[in-house]
Structure 1
């Protein structure tokens, strides 16, 4: 959710009873600190715990700028965010230990979320790293993910079969990837997930950092509008992702030209101009496969309540059929 989920979105999601994350992305310490301040202010205005949010980090970015990265993570820990989410790194254990070492100096533990894209990654995260929450990301997910990740419908049950996740008291497992509705959440709960992660759905909110043009592109998207690609990372020069990681976004002329071998400098010029002028045929719009099921821009808190009601109604309907 880098470039999309700031303090306002995270706080409004949390205020409605879900749990929102601020995306650290490529931010500086001061920029991230500002977003945390926004989140705390909004939560406190709702008379809620001002630290009831999380911060998500791209671990490969942390690895590339170690000195500043430690300041970033330390700042989040000092502001007592309830959780930190790590994804996309070749040495996640290092950053998990960084959080654990910091927690030894305080009473309240910071929850560590780790996102995985294979059953073996899930096993390591749970058995060896002793993480607090596991996020299982299927290939349907918008934004970045593994091009080799299984579809969520088969991936989630495979992970839940791991010995360390059987029985009571195990690590909570959250399902992510292409989810858009309360029915999707109900389905994941029925499969055994502890909860679900939705990203694209919350891009269509006033609190999202996406522009009106990007939001309209999402509203207009069809069920075959997304594609996995490295086109946008190439033109933006955000390369450095671990092997096998690419991004799912709306298909447009930038993707088509990239696939056809258009020179990178030409692509970059067109991309920059398209982004500046708000041309959806050139700009970046990350999106999961469930985008066609999203047709309105609504406040983030209202989306949470709508999803909860839909989920509850579908679970009740299923219960009725089993009587």
Structure 2
């Protein structure tokens, strides 16, 4: 596979600027490891069951019995900030396992956890250091993360994102240029990744040409055989149409993950009732996976032109069990093809 070279790929020493989002209930050790092995970079999420065991899974797949792991772990700031939060121990567990990066998002005091990571590295003498990714939804947040916290990677997440997002975020196509304009490379700013509704190699190529250093992909990887999503959830994503993804906290209420900061979504009682019944029955029409801004992970990338996912447009989405390597390769090759095709659009004057 050819390489795509950006500040982000050089920072991590990887072949392609494709990042697996840390998706609760889906991104375990297998999913994260296989994305990294395929040339991208994978994150696992503490929301998966038996978080400690996921590191053993990752070590087995990566053939790394001990020492640093070439994957990351993602954490929600507000969960870390809860009184007597068990997630703090999970963050420390991830650091003890030598993850290459920590992803932080949605917190009132993210600087505290960034400092925890830095202190751990200093005390342990870890080299290279643990990279800190911070998800931002506005230019102001990006400025704080880059210049106050001095993070290593910015994830600019648009309003289209699945899982959870910010109600004040602009579309990713607007947010990324805004952040890049406010943080020019000459300022020593960290690489910026685009996130939110991105599912194809064309999306990756488009944001690379805008100046982003890579893209975060979530929904697309939910269908991989290594994903911890159920068959019913995968079928629901395959069958999704325009309007299938909705903004709701109903999914969080079902899973017991309420307590989100203000501005992260809206309650929909009707959806809560439907999803509760659908999940019990394994009904792909109403299972808890199409929760735009809710606890369901799949977002706007799950619907295409109101027709669902078709073999013509997204061949890897039809089968519920493509491997991560297949998905990474298809995204990468499609991005390279688009970048090469776009090069012919510029020429010298006759």
Same fold flag (TM > 0.5)? yes
- 2:196 aligned with 1:177: yes
| Partner secondary structure for residue 226 of structure 2 | coil
By percentage of residues, which structure has more helix? Answer: 1
Q: Is the 2:67–2:98 Cα contact (8 Å) retained in structure 1?
A: no
Deviation at 1:272, TM superposition (A): 4.2
| Partner secondary structure for residue 85 of structure 1 | strand
Q: Is the 1:43–1:49 Cα contact (8 Å) retained in structure 2?
A: no
- 2:319 aligned with 1:308: no
The alignment's C-alpha RMSD in Å is: 2.3
Q: What does residue 205 of structure 2 align with?
A: 186
Deviations 1:197-244 (A, max 9, x none): 000000011011111111111111123321212222233332111111
Name the CA shift for 1:48/1:157 in 2 (closer, same or farther; >3 Å).
farther
Q: What does residue 199 of structure 1 align with?
A: 218
- Distance in 2, matches of 1:117 and 1:154, equals 11
Deviations 1:48-90 (A, max 9, x none): 9860000001111111154533321111111100000011111
Q: Is the 1:43–1:50 Cα contact (8 Å) retained in structure 2?
A: no
| Partner secondary structure for residue 41 of structure 2 | coil
- 2:298 aligned with 1:287: yes
Out of 125, 143, 161, the position equivalent to 2:163 is 143
Out of 89, 93, 111, the position equivalent to 2:107 is 89
Out of 166, 172, 177, the position equivalent to 1:157 is 177
Deviation at 1:255, TM superposition (A): 5.2
Q: Is the 2:155–2:194 Cα contact (8 Å) retained in structure 1?
A: yes
- Distance in 2, matches of 1:67 and 1:240, equals 13
| Partner secondary structure for residue 161 of structure 1 | helix
| Alignment map for 1:106-255 (pairs within 5 Å) | 106-108=125-127, 109-162=129-182, 164-167=183-186, 169-246=188-265
| Partner secondary structure for residue 158 of structure 1 | helix
Which deviates more from structure 2 when the two are superposed, residues 231-240 or residues 4-13? 231-240
| Partner secondary structure for residue 217 of structure 1 | helix
- Distance in 1, matches of 2:285 and 2:170, equals 29
- Distance in 2, matches of 1:75 and 1:236, equals 23
Gaps of 5+ in 1: 248-253, 259-263
- Distance in 2, matches of 1:158 and 1:272, equals 39
- Distance in 1, matches of 2:119 and 2:200, equals 38
Q: TM-score, normalised by structure 1?
A: 0.88
- Distance in 1, matches of 2:116 and 2:84, equals 12
Q: Is the 1:274–1:280 Cα contact (8 Å) retained in structure 2?
A: yes
Deviation at 1:169, TM superposition (A): 4.5
Deviation at 1:44, TM superposition (A): 1.1
- Distance in 1, matches of 2:100 and 2:226, equals 21
Which deviates more from structure 2 when the two are superposed, residues 5-14 or residues 18-27? 18-27
Q: What does residue 251 of structure 1 align with?
A: none
Deviation at 1:289, TM superposition (A): 1.3
Deviation at 1:184, TM superposition (A): 0.2
Q: What does residue 257 of structure 1 align with?
A: 270
Q: What does residue 318 of structure 1 align with?
A: 342
Q: Is the 2:156–2:194 Cα contact (8 Å) retained in structure 1?
A: yes
- Distance in 2, matches of 1:115 and 1:134, equals 6
Name the CA shift for 1:49/1:77 in 2 (closer, same or farther; >3 Å).
closer
Name the CA shift for 1:38/1:50 in 2 (closer, same or farther; >3 Å).
farther
Q: TM-score, normalised by structure 2?
A: 0.81
Deviations 1:93-129 (A, max 9, x none): 1111111111112131100000011111111000101
- Distance in 2, matches of 1:60 and 1:318, equals 42
- Distance in 1, matches of 2:155 and 2:199, equals 16
